[in-house]
Amino acid sequence: MTIAAVVLAAGQSKRMGQPKMLLPWGDSTVIEQVVYVLSQAALEPILVVTGGASQALKALLENSPARPIFNPRFMNDEMIYSLQAGLEILDESVEAAMVALGDQPQIEIGVVRQVVQVYQDTQAALVVPSYQMRRGHPWLLNRSLWGELMRLSPPATIRAFLNAHLSLTHFAQVDTPSIFKDIDTPEDYARERPLS
């Protein structure tokens, strides 16, 4: 059973004012932390879909377990295009893809492993982490739904896609609110970044 990861990292970081994936996070950077956690869960391949700051991200990830993929439609600021760009190139041996946010360095290995375990146990088409009845990231998508997602275009959104498939969704109950956290603004970064 092969489970890949598609990391959505093509945003232009308008609210941050600088490429947020490249910001320091502990001893590495925001995007490297996300990739590290996903790699610890043995997800393979790990695709990082880039757009803004694509050359800098490509250079940064050169010696990492991740493979950068450029989303030529990144200027549209539509996450659905980034997810499609990643799914499109995954090999047929990949049965499911974990969808992660490139600006969520708060991602926890325990959550990633729990989502994978729930998928392996249930074979649900969608597995989404939930904390106190609210869903978050990263979530997992079985190949059976890829075709439908690949046909979508704005104004369709990933959120609407998930809402339309609640009957196929298994919620993994987690014990951490980290599934909601990401960094969009300088204030988010100042509040969330590790001190060491």
Position 196 pLDDT exceeds 70: no
Taking residues 156-170, what's their average pLDDT? 96
Strands (E), the chain: 2-9, 24-25, 28-29, 46-50, 66-70, 94-101, 126-131, 134-135, 139-142, 169-173
Q: Which fold, 2-179? A: Spore Coat Polysaccharide Biosynthesis Protein SpsA; Chain A (3.90.550)
Label residue 191 by pLDDT band (50, 70, 90). very high
Cβ neighbours of 122 (radius 10 Å) = 11
pTM here is 0.96
Q: Where are the domains of the chain?
A: 2-179
pLDDT at position 78 is 86
Task: For residue 31, give the H/E element and its range.
Answer: helix 30-40
Indicate the average pLDDT of the chain: 95
Q: Tens of pLDDT along 9-39? A: 998 888 898 889 999 999 999 999 999 999 9
125-147 burial, b at 16+ Cβ within 10 Å, e below that, comes to bbbbbbbeeebbbbbbbbeebbe
Q: Tens of pLDDT along 171-188? A: 999 999 999 999 999 999
Q: Tens of pLDDT along 65-123? A: 999 999 999 888 789 999 999 999 999 999 999 999 999 999 999 999 999 999 999 99
Name the token pair of 195.
Answer: 């001190």
Amino acid at 43: L
Residue labelled with tokens 């919620």? 171
pLDDT at position 146 is 98
163-194 burial, b at 16+ Cβ within 10 Å, e below that, comes to eebeeebbbbebeeebbebbbeeeebbeebee
User: What percentage of the chain has pLDDT greater than the value 90?
Assistant: 89
